Copies of this chain bind each other. A is one copy, B any other.
């Protein structure tokens, strides 16, 4: 029962997510992985965006500092970040988004707004336990910590 871990709002202003980045770097270290410069830069771009971001938009931004960057540059960094649980991919819309949660003890619900691409990551015990029961009854096993749902965000619900 009970409510979700509160949303962490991301300040859209360009600025230092230094603390979060340093935490992420430390977390990678403890797992024997390393958050290199490129990976850290990509993660920072994700932190700065309150909405999901497209891979080629990330590429365009990274190119400003690294003109040689190419699609693999971005996709490799994203793969790494996803492996490390620092980012998620929203498959329906080919969007990537930073994870704002410390851990995924509970799989996350991603509410993706079809109007504005806003992404809200929720952790809802009630939904997930209902889901687990249904899956188990059907003989399936949840494989990904990510459940995507297309849902208008509060802003876009209002702007009707």
User: Is the beta-carbon distance between A130 and B139 smaller than 8 angstroms?
Assistant: no
Cα-based distance from A91 to B146 in the complex (angstroms)? 13
Neighbouring B residues of A137 by C-beta, 8 Å = 3
Quick one: closest B residue to A129, CB to CB? Answer: B130
A154 x B139 contact (CB < 8 A): yes
What residues of chain B lie closer than 8 Å to A127, measured between beta carbons? 127, 130-131, 134
- Count of chain copies: 2
The answer to whether B138 touches A130, judged by C-beta atoms less than 8 angstroms apart, is no
Contacts of A3 in B (CB 8 A): 137
Interface residues in A102-160 (C-beta closer than 8 Å to B):
109, 111, 113-114, 120, 122, 124, 126-127, 130-131, 133-135, 137-144, 146-154, 157
Does A8 have its Cβ within 8 Å of any Cβ on chain B?
A: no
In Å, the complex CA distance between A106 and B113 comes to: 20
Please tell me if A31 contacts chain B, counting CB pairs below 8 Å: no
18 A-B interface contacts by CB (under 8 A): A3-B137, A4-B138, A91-B148, A92-B148, A109-B131, A114-B143, A120-B140, A126-B133, A130-B130, A135-B149, A139-B154, A139-B157, A141-B152, A141-B157, A142-B151, A143-B151, A143-B152, A146-B150
